[in-house]
């Protein structure tokens, strides 16, 4: 391994621990002090319909940690299969499951197995189902050409290997499939002190 590859691998491992810690904290203690918008206030700001937020389990709404509204352009149809990358506590997956209806399917992928369990519990509480796979968006644990739509909300910015994430999205999409993601980008090159700070990268 070269020094650069070794440094990236160790930063990635530290970052994974920090991501797990931070989003578990949002899920366990949504009233806590976070330096990013979250919960119902954030969802309303991004234009989530009040009806969705009233229907979804309070825990999924309170733990919402997205950065935008991928449902505005996902144009989901009955019977489609949707993949939610970084499904967190499940609010976006639950909204997607209403879009594809009982003949459709929603698959979540999250690197944190306890977030997967939480999302599945939240989905079950609304009478919908989602299957959530523990795994990384850089190596999506589902077969080629199996998904109609990929959604994701505030997750791809967390990756050190964004090109690989994009390649993986195209691998799992069926021909003619669609992508609807909301995320954050920086117009400026981030300083090394930010890049090397797992707390800032994770949020
Ligand atoms: C911003 S939240 C997702 C918001 C979610 N859509 C919602 O409805 O609240 C981030 C989630 O992405 C997951 N995550 C972060 N990096 C990941 C990766 N490399 N692969 C898969 N999931 C990841 C985290 O564990 C966390 O649950």
Q: Against a cut of 0.95, is the pTM above it? A: no
Whichever domain contains 175, its CATH number is 3.40.50.150
Asked whether 30 lines ligand 1 (CB < 6 A), one says: no
Instruction: Say which residues have a Cβ less than 8 Å from residue 37's Cβ, sequence separation at least 6.
Output: 45, 67
Nearest-CA neighbor of 67 among 51, 48, 83?
48
* Residue bearing the bigger pLDDT, 120 or 200: 120
Asked whether 57 lines ligand 1 (CB < 6 A), one says: no
Distance CA 164, CA 170 (A): 10
CB distance 115 to 138 below 8 Å: no
Asked whether 158 lines ligand 1 (CB < 6 A), one says: yes
Domain that holds residue 37: 3-202
If one counts the domains in the chain, the total is 1
23-68 confidence digits (pLDDT tens): 788 778 877 777 777 899 999 999 999 999 999 999 999 999 999 9
Distance CA 13, CA 7 (A): 10
Phi-psi region of 185 (alpha: psi -120 to 50; beta: other; left: phi over 0): beta
186-201 confidence digits (pLDDT tens): 888 877 777 777 777 6
Q: Give the model's pLDDT for residue 89.
A: 95
């Amino acid at each position: 391994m070269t020094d650069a590859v070794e440094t990236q691998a160790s930063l990635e491992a530290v970052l994974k621990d920090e991501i797990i810690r931070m989003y578990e904290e949002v899920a366990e203690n949504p009233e806590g002090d976070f330096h990013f918008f979250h919960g119902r206030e954030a969802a309303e700001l991004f234009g989530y319909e009040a009806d969705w937020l009233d229907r979804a389990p309070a825990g999924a709404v309170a733990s919402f940690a997205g950065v935008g509204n991928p449902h505005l352009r996902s144009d989901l149809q009955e019977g489609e299969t949707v993949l939610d990358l970084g499904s967190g506590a499940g609010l976006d997956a639950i909204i997607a499951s209403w879009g594809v209806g009982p003949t459709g399917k929603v698959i979540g992928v999250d690197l944190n197995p306890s977030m997967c369990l939480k999302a599945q519990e939240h989905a079950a509480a609304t009478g919908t189902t989602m299957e959530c796979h523990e795994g990384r968006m850089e190596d999506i644990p589902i077969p080629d050409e199996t998904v109609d739509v990929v959604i994701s909300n505030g997750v791809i910015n967390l990756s050190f290997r964004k090109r690989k994430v994009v390649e993986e999205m195209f691998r799992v999409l069926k021909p003619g499939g669609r992508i609807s993601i909301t995320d954050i980008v920086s117009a400026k090159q981030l300083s090394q002190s930010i890049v090397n700070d797992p707390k800032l990268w994770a949020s």
